[in-house]
Each structure stands twice: as structure tokens, then as C-alpha cells.
Chain A
Amino acid sequence: MSFFKKLKDKFSGSQEQEQTTEKYTEGLTKTRTGFAAKVNNLIARYRKIDEEFFEELEEILIGADVGFETVMELIDELKMEVKRRNTNDPEAIREIITEKFVDIYTDGAEVQSDLNIQESELTVILFVGVNGVGKTTTIGKLAHKFKEDGKKVILAAGDTFRAGAIDQLEVWGERTGVDVIKQSEGSDPAAVMYDAVRAAKSRGADILLCDTAGRLQNKVNLMNELQKVKRVIEREIPDAPHEVLLVVDATTGQNALIQAKTFKEATDVSGIVLTKLDGTAKGGIVLAIRKELGVPVKFVGLGEKMDDLQPFNAEKYAYGLFAQAFEEKEVADNEAGE
């Protein structure tokens, strides 16, 4: 059975599975049409797989922000796989590339995108990232998700720097019906976290979502401040924060890799939230982040609605990217058969 068919069958089991797959396919529409159309176009123009073909494929992948080194590796593997299968048919590439994409991401093992949630105890999740990536919005969406699951959620307004940031989180608190722990603008974020952890404990909350101010990773003082915030949480609850999520804008280029590296060093990032994937950007840099730093993507933002934040699934991501290309092909084959 082809890899695509396998994926398709896998996702057409339960209704829930189908719904989230649909979200992916919907959210990635723009990504996919651009990307898949290019792959399709490429495949249509070439009769056989040769150097030139691979060169063009290389450009398509670079255009998706996958990053040069990762692209080279992917191309090398594709070349080997093509040789192994002894095929010269560009059509075969479509499937092989999806498979390799997933392969590089998972590295042979099942990647857990589930959050480390404590049973019957407080779970603290810290959100970090550069300016303007969507930390506060992500927190709002996650608060909604946890609330729906029947959890008691508290938000900590740790962005005391940017004008209006506390108000922004408060609006999300109102929308989702969740308490927000805050101090005034300009106060020490570590102090806010201390208050928040205390409050979450005494109010018997299940989940504490901690917002922080956006900061560029080369600002040493601000990175130190972030470490202090984390230390304060650690001091109150020894194994907290249970997750440190780095929020990355899908439109970011190669700098995202440096972001991931620096934030990981400072705060031991446990996962990535890839936002704004509903635009035309492909966020291919997550592949390099996963490969070089081992940090998995845990959520992707596929739209502006509250429930448009979805757990990341490499297979679904790849399926979403290539699905249309695959389905068009299937229809064409069937018609040809009749």
C-alpha cells in the first residue's frame, strides 16, 4: 500500500481524527496550493528524474524555509531512495518526498506532541519567544482548549513590558472565563510568576499558563530575566514548569533556528508552537529545529478562531501539504482507468 493511502486510512477512522485532519487540510490550503502546485508543476514538466529535476526541487524546498543544510540532506536521501527503488518516474517522487519529510522529522521514533500534564496536580506551562510571534494569542487559545476539557485554568500576565499586553491577556481571560493574575505595567515579571503560582496552588487550579514579554534572543539581560522567571517557578514547584513552549512565527526564516537554540539554552524549551501557518508561509524551519536541536513541534496555529490551535502531527502536516497533489492524481488515474 502506498504511504499516502496508509496515512489516509489512518486518518479516516474516527470522526475526531477526520475533523482535525480537515483543520489541517483547511489551514494549510494556502501553504499547500503554493507548495503542492509547485511540486505538481515540476513533476508534470519532467519526463525523468535527473540533476536538473533535483535542482528545481531543491529550490521549492528552500522556498519553504526548510533551510539549506536540511534541504541538501533531504535531496541526498531522495536521490538514494530513487536509486533504491530503481525508478525514473517523477511521479514516484511525490510519495517518496512525503515519506522522507516524515522520516527526517520523526527520526524513526514516534514523536510525542502531547503536553506533559500532571494528573491531579498543578501543571505550569511557560511561554517564551521573540516579539510579535503570538504568545498571548496562543495562551488564549490553549486556555479555551483546557477549559473545554473541564480543567481549571489560571493565566499569569508576565508581559509587564509591552504597552497593553496585560490588557490583551485580560481580554482573553474574559472571553474564556478564566482568572488572570497580574500586577501593574513595569513590575517585575518574576514577582508576577510568584504570585501566580501561589494563587494557582491555593485556588486548586489544574493548569497555569504563564505569558512572558517577547524578547530578541541576543538581548542578554532579557534572557537573564527569563531565566529568573523560570527559577522562581522552579522554587515554588520543584519539577515546574512542566512545559516551556517556544512560540515561533511560521513566516520566520533561518533566524528561527538561532531562536530555538538560544531559548533552549536559557530555559530548556520542551516544545514549539508554530503560529500563523494559515498564511502562505510554510514554516519549514521546524524541520531543521527538530533535526538539529531535537525540539518537537507541539502545536500549530491554523487560523484566528479559538479552536484553530491544533496538536502537531508530522504525518498530518505532511499529508496536509501533499494531500491535494495526491488526490488530484488519484482522480486523474481513475478517470484514465475508465
Chain B
Amino acid sequence: MAFEGLAERLQGTMQKIRGKGKVSESDVKEMMREVRLALLEADVNFKVVKEFVKKVSERSVGQEVMKSLTPGQQVIKVVKEELTELMGGEESRIGTAKRPPTVIMMVGLQGAGKTTTTGKLANLLRKKHNRKPLLVAADVYRPAAIKQLETLGKQLDMPVFSLGDQVSPVDIAKQAIQKAKDEHLDYVIIDTAGRLHIDETLMDELKQIKDLSAPEEIFLVVDSMTGQDAVNVADSFNEQLGITGVVLTKLDGDTRGGAALSIRAVTSKPIKFVGMGEKLDALESFHPERMASRILGMGDVLTLIEKAQTNVDEAKAKELEQKMRTMSFTFDDFLDQLGQVRSMGPLDEILKMLPGANKMKGLANVQVDEKQIGRVEAIIRSMTPSEKQQPEIINAGRRKRIARGSGTSIQEVNRLLKQFEDMKKMMKQMSAMQQKGKKKGGMPKFPFM
């Protein structure tokens, strides 16, 4: 049931090829089959997959792959490049009208996350661009949708315009724009009701709002878990309204998000933002390369590196490495380390970004309990400086004191001490392995290389 990434999928084919020393056209065909499957499992629309595989296949049969000593790796490279290119450049700009206010319309199916995204977008406009947005509650159909936007407005301390649910959304939009003009608010974000792309009456209503408000941007909000139907939805909204961009929501889930590729392929409109969590600041720019990795199930190393770079102090890291090698790693260092890793975000999210993490034994279903980490921290903080430096001196009496001081039990203190000892041993082994590796000439290669 766990979906395999492209790299895993290609492993089998590569093993067969390895013995032959030469890649034939039929080998490429077999590899393309795996590419096709990987994309289909990621929910990329089958028509888009067909076109895409054709393109990749042409490149692969050519020099690049067949002459390569590492054909598997080459295929992955070609696929990733093509995917990234297809999804377009990074474009998280929001247009500005010549004369304020700039109007942004949020449209999409029911439950895609329009209202939440409206709040997030307003937050972003204020925080990053120093703008003053007005939120407009134009969803008069879903019960309490207006209330939802009002609550978000309160949380953000931003004005929300609403006329209740008895006034037509077209009138609401008209009056909202007037209000923004009067009060010198420079952005108007209209939260429209979710609707089926085949509902003519409601699609007409959107057209009317569009005609009177001349929006600079019409964002189609799409659930990243959407399956094959994403093309129909995107195509239809685009055709009827002329969307200017896409916001992909709920990407903090574990979906591969192939819908992103489908939508891009049928509308050729840029994906501008992605929703990465329930908090109001969880709206991020779209990175095509990261999305390509994700669709292919290759882990999100780039995000991880970026996070590490912004959060880890390089000098400290060097020092740590030295300590690991000489085994002089103490509880102080451990605490430091823990703090740095935690500042990157929730641990299970970080683990997920490692390529192949879902394949690694013991890591597949690892559940990181943040509370547990808190307890570990409490235990260490209850140690005296000399205990932290030399854990060996912690005897029964000290353990009791530490347990009491941290509000944990002696068993928990014992467990941590044991784990710490094990960790030190493992570090020793690892640094020994690295030394050996250096002599032999680098790390062992991955099987598909």
C-alpha cells in the first residue's frame, strides 16, 4: 500500500541491466513503464502522464541515458528536470492594480480551503508586503462560512466585510470595493463559495463578480490530494473565468500531489502558493523542483538543507563533529543539538523529508512524540554541570534527585542515560567507518547508481 518512489521502482530494472553492461531500447521502455506507474500513483492525470513519458522517452533513448554508465540515475535526472520545467518557474508574486484597491478572487470546489487560504493570504500581504487587505465574506451558501472568515479576521486583527447571507455575492463584492476605496485599504480579497465547476448558475455568478470587480488575480484553490479529476476542475474554472494562478492546499499531508502537475499542464497557469499547515502563517511559495521530488517520492532534501542552513550554526556543527570523533560528546552538547534540530520544525516532518526515510527500517512508522523530547530536556536540565560533563558520576542517589527535579521517574532517567551511552558508541562506530571510507575512496554507492 505504501507507494513506492521512482528510485525504488527503477531499482529492479537497473539490477537487470547491470549485468549486461549496455542499455537497450527495450530497457528504456521498461524504465519508462516504471516512470509511468510512479506518476500515476502520484495522481498525475493519465493523459498528462502519457505526454510526459513520451517526452522523457525521446530524451532517454538518445545519448543521455543509453550511453551513460549510470542509466538509472540518468533517467531520474531527466524525469526530474522535465518535471521541474513543466511546473514552471518560481512565481509567488501577487499582482498590483494600477489604481488601488487590488482585487483578488478566491475560487474553487467545496472544501478546498478557500476561506483558510484567504486568511493566510491576507496575513502574508500584511507581513511581507506591508499591505492593508480587506477580507470579503462572499460565501453566502455554506452555513457559518461568513462567521468563519470573521473569526479569522479577528485572529488576524483585520477588517472583514460582510452583509450577511441574504445579499447576493455580486452586491457584496461591489460594496466591499467601495468600502476599500473609502477607507484606503489597498487589497480586497473576495472569499467566494465553493462550487462545482459544472454548476452553471454559480459559475455565472463568479463571472459577474469578475466583471464588476476587475480582479488583478483570480486564484484557483485546489486540494493537493485531488485525483484524476483535477484536470477537469482546473480546465473548467480556467476556461470560464481565466484564472491567474493556483494555490495548492493541504500539502502538509502525505499526498504526492501529482495534481500540481496535471493542473499546470492543462492550464499553464503558475502555481503561486502552497498551504503547509493549519496556522495562519503556513502559506509558502511554490518550488517546482521540490514538488518534482515529492511527486517522484524522492524526499525533500532541498527544504531540509534550507532549514538546516537557517537554523544550524556552522561553527557549532564543526565543533560537534570534532567532539563526536573524540568521544567527548556531553549532555550539554546533546541539549544544544536537540535545540537546533527542534528549531527546524516538528521532528517527524524533518524525518519525512529524508529521501528513502519511508524505506528505512525502524524509520518507516516512527512517531516522534514532542512531549517525550520535552521530558528528555527536563531530565538533562535537572543535572548539575559536572553531571552533564561526566555522566559516569551519576549514581543512584543522583538519579533519584534528577528524577525528582525533572518531574519524571528514575526509570526514565535510567533509560536516557543508557540511550546516551549507546549513542556515543554508535558515533564512535560511525566516525570509524568514515575514516575507513576515506581510504577506500568515498561513500558506498546506492544500488541504482
Tell me whether A and B are bound partners.
Answer: yes
Binding site for B on A (CB under 8 A): 30, 34, 59, 62-65, 68, 130-134, 140, 161-165, 167-168, 170-172, 175, 185, 216-221, 249, 251-258, 261, 276, 278-282, 285, 292
Rounded to whole Å, the gap between the CB of B183 and the closest CB of chain A is: 24
A205 to B104, CA, bound (A): 47
Residues of chain B within 8 A (CB-CB) of A161 are 278
Residues of chain A within 8 A (CB-CB) of B136 are none
In B331-356, the 8 Å CB interface with A consists of 348, 352
27 A–B contact pairs at CB < 8 A?
A59-B46, A68-B41, A130-B250, A132-B111, A134-B110, A164-B150, A165-B144, A168-B142, A168-B145, A172-B143, A216-B250, A216-B252, A218-B253, A251-B227, A252-B226, A253-B225, A253-B228, A253-B255, A254-B41, A254-B256, A258-B1, A258-B254, A279-B198, A279-B229, A280-B198, A281-B229, A282-B229
A167 touches B144 (CB 8 A): yes
Interface-central residue, B196, B198, B227, B255, by most chain A CB under 10 Å: B227
Residues of chain A within 8 A (CB-CB) of B41 are 68, 254
Identify which of B46, B143, B256 contacts A168 (C-beta below 8 A).
Answer: B143
For B, the interface residue count at a CB cutoff of 8 angstroms equals 55
Contact indicator per residue, chain B 305-342, by CB within 8 Å of chain A (1) or not (0): 00000000000000000000000000000000000000
Interface of B is mostly: loop
A4 to B56, CA, bound (A): 43
Identify which of A64, A68, A221, A251 contacts B109 (C-beta below 8 A).
Answer: A251
B196 touches A279 (CB 8 A): yes
B1 touches A253 (CB 8 A): no
In B1-22, the 8 Å CB interface with A consists of 1, 3
A285 to B367, CA, bound (A): 27
Rounded to whole Å, the gap between the CB of A133 and the closest CB of chain B is: 6
Identify which of A64, A253, A285 contacts B258 (C-beta below 8 A).
Answer: A253
A253 touches B259 (CB 8 A): yes
Residue of B nearest to A63 (CB): B228
B226 touches A133 (CB 8 A): no
**Is B155 an interface residue, CB under 8 A from the partner?**
yes
Rounded to whole Å, the gap between the CB of B124 and the closest CB of chain A is: 18
Rounded to whole Å, the gap between the CB of A265 and the closest CB of chain B is: 10
Using known A-B contacts A64-B228, A282-B229, determine if residue A254 contacts B110 with beta carbons closer than 8 Å. no
Rounded to whole Å, the gap between the CB of A268 and the closest CB of chain B is: 18
Using known A-B contacts A132-B223, A163-B152, A216-B250, determine if residue A62 contacts B111 with beta carbons closer than 8 Å. no
Contact indicator per residue, chain B 119-163, by CB within 8 Å of chain A (1) or not (0): 000000000000000000000001111111111100100000000
B112 touches A132 (CB 8 A): yes
Residue of A nearest to B44 (CB): A253
A39 to B323, CA, bound (A): 67
Identify which of B37, B225, B233 contacts A252 (C-beta below 8 A).
Answer: B225
B148 touches A65 (CB 8 A): no
Residue of B nearest to A221 (CB): B370
A135 to B107, CA, bound (A): 21
Residues of chain B within 8 A (CB-CB) of A175 are 143
Residues of chain A within 8 A (CB-CB) of B258 are 253
Residues of chain A within 8 A (CB-CB) of B144 are 164-165, 167-168, 170-171
Rounded to whole Å, the gap between the CB of B125 and the closest CB of chain A is: 19
Identify which of B46, B115, B227, B250 contacts A281 (C-beta below 8 A).
Answer: B227
Using known A-B contacts A163-B155, A253-B259, A279-B109, determine if residue A68 contacts B228 with beta carbons closer than 8 Å. no
In B369-390, the 8 Å CB interface with A consists of 369-370
Residues of chain B within 8 A (CB-CB) of A255 are 43, 225, 253-256
Residues of chain A within 8 A (CB-CB) of B252 are 216, 218-219
B253 touches A130 (CB 8 A): yes
Contact indicator per residue, chain B 247-283, by CB within 8 Å of chain A (1) or not (0): 0001011111011000000000000000000100000
Residues of chain A within 8 A (CB-CB) of B302 are none
Residue of A nearest to B194 (CB): A132
B223 touches A163 (CB 8 A): no
A282 to B226, CA, bound (A): 12
Residues of chain A within 8 A (CB-CB) of B112 are 132
A316 to B409, CA, bound (A): 59
A131 touches B229 (CB 8 A): no
Residues of chain B within 8 A (CB-CB) of A130 are 225, 250, 253
**Is B214 an interface residue, CB under 8 A from the partner?**
no
Residues of chain B within 8 A (CB-CB) of A63 are 45-47, 228
Contact indicator per residue, chain B 37-71, by CB within 8 Å of chain A (1) or not (0): 10011110111000000000000000000000000
Contact indicator per residue, chain B 219-239, by CB within 8 Å of chain A (1) or not (0): 000010111111011000000
A216 touches B253 (CB 8 A): yes
**Is B368 an interface residue, CB under 8 A from the partner?**
yes
Residue of A nearest to B229 (CB): A281
Given contacts A161-B278, A218-B254, A218-B348, 8 further A-B contacts (CB under 8 A): A132-B111, A132-B113, A164-B151, A168-B148, A171-B143, A171-B144, A251-B226, A279-B196
A280 touches B148 (CB 8 A): no
Residues of chain A within 8 A (CB-CB) of B198 are 30, 279-280
Residues of chain B within 8 A (CB-CB) of A252 are 223, 225-227
Residues of chain A within 8 A (CB-CB) of B181 are none
**Is B179 an interface residue, CB under 8 A from the partner?**
no
